């Protein structure tokens, strides 16, 4: 083992690093300090000058989402939202440290979706606790009706190999069982030699895992949590719950949701129904937002979305039948 120390200053903060194990350090890697908040403890701004320029560039060029790493509080999200202004761009907050976990409820409430950054998060937690923290974050997002995405590392071995390890297959299946909305690859597609195989393999594993889920168990479990004394009952949740009950009892294959913002579609999705969800909206940005939700397929109408409009209803039914959704139930309008 070789050891050395390197001081680094940021205001009055001094970070002393010591090498415990001899290894090769690849270029352009971050220096991360476990158990300390970047902004709170180290005085490092979450949104720097380069970040401001990057957000402005992508928002001006039609990005649907902005992912914000190292989020620690709602103030970090609000700072990005101020940069976006009135443009219809959604914010995904990446949970990567203990400070963010402490403020998790308020961060989920403020953001449009959550990214679970397990790579950095694992540096803050015991490896034995990571899977349970992941489950806690996913369940919290489901209860609050927000997107939750599992970020890299997921299939790191496929950066250099054409097939995943058994542990990676089990990891993906567990995430699906826990109720994650989406899985996001990183180095596998950015740097890997087998980026096509990695994407296809992850899709196949996720599909098999979804087909082996018990929709009744998942629905009852979430419903019990929503209707406890500690959770305020919302009319939207009650209506969506009724739609899920009807879809399970009637064994329908599609639930059509008319939505202007996408939130009603996500409210149905959080119950993880067996039926496909067709989110009908007149806004392309809302359609793109909904597509990340579990079991949601979006359709953009030619005119305004109104449940009372015969033309909108007919157009939605025609489309649903065209993609082989033949038995339908209509939950709500927002």
Quickly tell me which residue has 């500690």 as its tokens.
230
Say if residue 326's pLDDT is above 70.
Answer: no
Q: What value does the mean pLDDT take over residues 288-298? A: 92
What is the chain's mean pLDDT, rounded? 83
Q: What is the pTM of this model?
A: 0.84
pLDDT digits (tens, 9 = 90+) for 159-207: 999 999 999 999 999 999 999 999 999 889 988 899 999 999 999 999 9
Top-confidence residue, 249 or 124 = 249
Smallest CA-to-CA distance from 247 within 145, 134, 330 is with 330
Give residues with Cβ within 8 angstroms of 280, minimum separation 6: 256, 257, 258, 259, 298, 299, 301, 305, 312, 316
Is 273 in contact with 295 (CB distance < 8 Å)? Answer: yes
Return the number of other C-beta atoms located less than 10 Å from residue 87's C-beta: 11
Q: Encoding tokens for residue 115? A: 């990214």
Return the number of other C-beta atoms located less than 10 Å from residue 198's C-beta: 26
CA–CA separation, 189 and 207 (whole Å): 20
Mean pLDDT check: name the lowest of 122-136, 231-245, 267-281: 231-245
Quickly tell me which residue has 């969506």 as its tokens.
240
Vertex 88: Cα angle to 87 and 91 (nearest 5): 105
Q: In degrees to the nearest 10, what's the CA dihedral of 301, 304, 305, 309?
A: -100
Q: What value does the mean pLDDT take over residues 54-70? A: 90
């Amino acid at each position: 083992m070789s050891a050395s120390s390197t001081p680094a200053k940021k205001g009055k903060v001094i970070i002393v690093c010591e090498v415990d194990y001899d290894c090769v350090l690849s270029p352009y890697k971050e220096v991360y300090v476990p158990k300390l908040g970047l902004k709170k403890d180290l005085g490092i701004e979450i949104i720097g000058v380069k970040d401001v320029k990057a957000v402005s560039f992508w928002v001006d060029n039609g990005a649907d989402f902005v992912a914000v790493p190292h989020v620690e509080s709602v103030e970090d999200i609000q700072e990005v939202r101020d940069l976006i202004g009135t443009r219809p761009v959604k914010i995904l907050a990446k949970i990567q440290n203990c400070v963010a976990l402490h403020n998790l409820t308020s961060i989920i409430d403020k953001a449009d979706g959550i990214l679970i950054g397990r790579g950095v998060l694992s540096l803050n937690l015991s490896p034995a606790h990571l899977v349970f923290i992941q489950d806690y974050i996913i369940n919290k997002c489901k209860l609050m009706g927000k997107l939750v995405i599992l970020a890299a590392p997921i299939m790191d071995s496929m950066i250099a190999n054409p097939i995943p390890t058994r542990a990676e297959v089990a990891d993906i299946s567990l995430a699906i069982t826990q109720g994650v909305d989406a899985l996001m690859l990183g180095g596998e597609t950015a740097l890997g030699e087998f980026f096509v195989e990695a994407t296809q393999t992850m899709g196949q594993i996720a599909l098999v895992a979804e087909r082996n889920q018990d929709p009744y168990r998942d629905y009852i479990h979430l419903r019990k949590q929503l209707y406890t004394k500690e959770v305020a009952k919302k009319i939207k949740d009650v209506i969506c719950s009724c739609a899920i009950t009807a879809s399970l009892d009637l064994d329908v294959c599609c639930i059509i949701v008319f939505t202007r913002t996408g939130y009603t579609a996500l409210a149905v999705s959080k119950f993880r129904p067996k039926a496909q969800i067709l989110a009908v909206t007149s806004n392309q940005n809302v359609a793109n937002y909904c597509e990340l939700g579990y079991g949601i397929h979006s359709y953009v109408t030619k005119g305004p979305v109104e449940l009372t409009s015969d033309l909108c209803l007919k157009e939605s039914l025609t489309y649903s039948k065209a993609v082989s959704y033949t038995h339908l139930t209509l939950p709500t309008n927002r």
